[in-house]
């Protein structure tokens, strides 16, 4: 039997933070399973400084370094990561990340904690060692919605409660935060009780734009005469974008039911495009495989816009590798919305800002 010695790196909030020029406390985070940077970007927008980002995929690491050369990106498997070797991590306020979703998806056979790709045990290991003031972990909606995963949720609840954290779990829909996509995600937020008492789940920001509104300029950028006609047809929110895993998927816009919706929107979801339509492209229904080949394909950059990434965010790697980074990302606007509320709670607990503005609405009542 192996023996694991756990060292808790403990330091007070006042000792490990500094006041910025804005009068706000500087908040420091560790991002795990960072992928192509969706959650990391959103948390940056929420005011967090990333002390380190952990990611195993080399293309995703290259994406992070390309877009943020100042970020400290460590390419390693989370199971092989030992934070005790990095003294700077004793100063983190937030442990955040999107652990692999595959154990909780239909495509991954929903094996949950029996799947060797499940990294929730690693999250708990890091919490025990680092004792962050806050934790934010996102995953697929199945984790909260399926009764089969209730033992997993109970185990996580027991672990966090025993470590002294208050916590809540919510299903958040990306379209409620301005992302032009129907994308439900489970989000876990845990904090020290004195901080969690000030935490409020973010209020929705209103209706998102449609696929046609977001991508019209892009579709018309090479002189395609039918771009306006296409935009009028694509007058809906996008279905959930699916990135696939390292072992399978990622070369198209998801299962057949999703492709059928894309077809209704005038998109060929059989594969990802190399470029937007040129001036001589003619949109035709009922052509080719399942009647989709006569429709334009979306490029990686276009799908990234539908995930809420800014236009200048560059993905490194081949087309499929880049698309996987996009499809598996946590939309930055959603991460930013949750991150801002976490930041407010942390700063309020430290006395650097006024108490929270309002009590939570009935819609914000705990799910779990």
Asked if 98 and 39 count as a contact pair (C-beta separation under 8 A), the reply is yes
Question: Which residue is associated with the tokens 């004195």?
Answer: 194
Closest CA to 217 of 334, 311, 87, 339: 311
HEC profile of the chain: CCCCCCCCCCCCHHHHCCECCCCCECEEEEEECCCCCHHHHHHHHCCEEEEEEEECCHHHHHHHHHHCCCCCEEECCHHHCCHHHCHHHHHCCEEEECCCCHHHCCCCCCCHHHCCCCCHHHHHHHHHHHCCCEEEEEEECHHHHCHHHHHHHHHHHHHHHHCCCEEEEEEEEHHHECCCECCEEEEEEEECHHHHCCCCCCCCCECCCCHHHHHHHHHCCCCCCCHHHHHHHCCCCECCCCCCCCCCCCCCCCCHHHHHHHHHCCCCCCCCCCCCCCCCCCCCCCECHHHECCCCCCCHHHHHHHCCCCCCCCCCCCHHHHHHHHHCCCCHHHHHHHHHHHHHHHHHHCCCCCCCCCCCCHHHCCCC
**Whole-number Å distance between alpha carbons of 359 and 82:** 39
101 is catalytic: yes
Catalytic residue of the set 33, 101, 195, 263 = 101
Active-site residues, by number, are: 101
């Amino acid at each position: 039997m192996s023996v694991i010695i756990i060292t808790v790196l403990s330091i007070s909030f006042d000792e490990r933070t500094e006041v910025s020029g804005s009068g706000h406390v500087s908040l420091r985070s560790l991002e795990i399973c960072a992928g192509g940077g969706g959650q990391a970007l959103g948390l940056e927008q929420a005011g967090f400084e990333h002390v380190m980002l952990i990611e195993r995929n080399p293309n995703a690491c290259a994406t992070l370094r390309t877009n943020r050369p100042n970020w400290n990106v460590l390419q390693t498997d989370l199971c092989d990561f030992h934070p005790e070797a990095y003294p700077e991590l004793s100063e983190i306020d937030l442990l955040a990340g999107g652990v692999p979703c595959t154990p909780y998806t239909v495509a991954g056979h929903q094996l949950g904690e029996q799947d060797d790709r499940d990294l929730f045990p690693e999250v708990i290991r890091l919490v025990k060692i680092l004792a962050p003031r806050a934790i934010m972990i996102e995953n697929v909606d199945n984790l909260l919605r399926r009764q089969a995963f209730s033992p997993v949720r109970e185990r996580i609840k027991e672990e966090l409660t025993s470590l002294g954290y208050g916590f809540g779990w919510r299903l958040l829909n990306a379209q409620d935060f301005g992302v032009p996509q129907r994308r439900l995600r489970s989000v876990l937020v845990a904090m020290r009780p004195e901080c969690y008492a000030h935490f409020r789940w973010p209020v929705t920001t209103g209706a998102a734009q449609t696929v046609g509104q977001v991508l019209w300029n892009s579709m018309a950028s090479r002189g395609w005469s039918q771009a306006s006609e296409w935009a009028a047809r694509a007058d809906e929110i996008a279905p959930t974008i699916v990135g696939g895993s390292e072992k399978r998927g990622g070369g198209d816009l998801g299962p057949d039911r999703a492709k059928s919706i894309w077809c209704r929107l005038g998109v060929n979801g059989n594969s990802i495009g190399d470029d937007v339509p040129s001036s001589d492209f003619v949109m035709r229904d009922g052509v080719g495989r399942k009647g989709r080949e006569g429709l334009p394909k979306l490029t990686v950059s276009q799908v990234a816009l539908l995930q809420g990434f800014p236009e200048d965010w560059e993905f490194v790697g081949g087309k499929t590798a880049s698309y996987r980074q996009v499809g598996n990302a946590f939309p930055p606007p959603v991460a930013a919305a949750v991150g801002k509320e976490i930041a407010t709670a942390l700063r309020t607990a430290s006395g650097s800002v006024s108490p929270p503005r309002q009590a939570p609405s009935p819609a914000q009542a705990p799910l779990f």
